[in-house]
Amino acid sequence: MNISNILVAYDGSEPAEKALTHAIDMAQHYPEAKLTVLTVYNLSPDIALDVALTVPVLEQESELLHLEQDLLKEARRRIQILPSAETVMLEGSPGETIVNYAKDHSCDLIIAGSRGLGALREFVLGSVSHFILKHSDVPLLVIK
């Protein structure tokens, strides 16, 4: 399998940290490969409704963007050892955004962390890695 364009989904969680570590190791193994660290934030109406009584929505959005930028700053620090790596932040539904990004940018591999949900909870809530598996033609490596 020739690996030249790796996409890692990153949200700062422990599984995502493990996925990033694995992606960095893989990119070092394939020095010609490009590594993209993608974080996706979602300004869903549900979040806005939950905080509307206590915090203005714009302030909540600003805090979320600041948090995401801090996450990417740490990821950027970790990938600076690679010759071809970048960080990207997009807004949208995480699963859909990751699948679309991988397709639009001709990624060879997606690496994502697993939240380790039980079968019932995953059935009810779904998960980003499960969504990617179901909807992407790009190979997916899920890290536990």
Assign residue 81 the CATH number of its domain. 3.40.50.620
Instruction: State the average pLDDT for the chain.
Output: 84
**CA 46 → CA 33, 80, 94, 144, distances in Å?**
38, 36, 15, 29
H or E element at residue 40: strand 34-41
List the one residue out of 82, 84, 89, 81 whose CA is nearest residue 12. 89
pLDDT tens for the chain, 144 residues long, are 689 999 999 998 899 999 999 999 999 999 899 999 999 988 764 444 444 544 555 566 777 778 888 889 999 999 999 999 999 999 999 999 999 999 999 999 999 998 744 444 444 444 899 999 999 999 999 998
Domain count along the chain: 1
- Predicted pLDDT at 56: 53
Express each pLDDT in 123-138 by its tens digit: 444 489 999 999 999 9
Express each pLDDT in 96-111 by its tens digit: 999 999 999 999 999 9
- Partnered with residue 110 across adjacent β-strands are 7, 140
Give me the domain span that covers residue 130.
5-143
- Predicted pLDDT at 127: 86
d(CA 70, CA 72): 5
In degrees rounded to 5, what are phi and psi of residue 33?
Answer: -80, 145
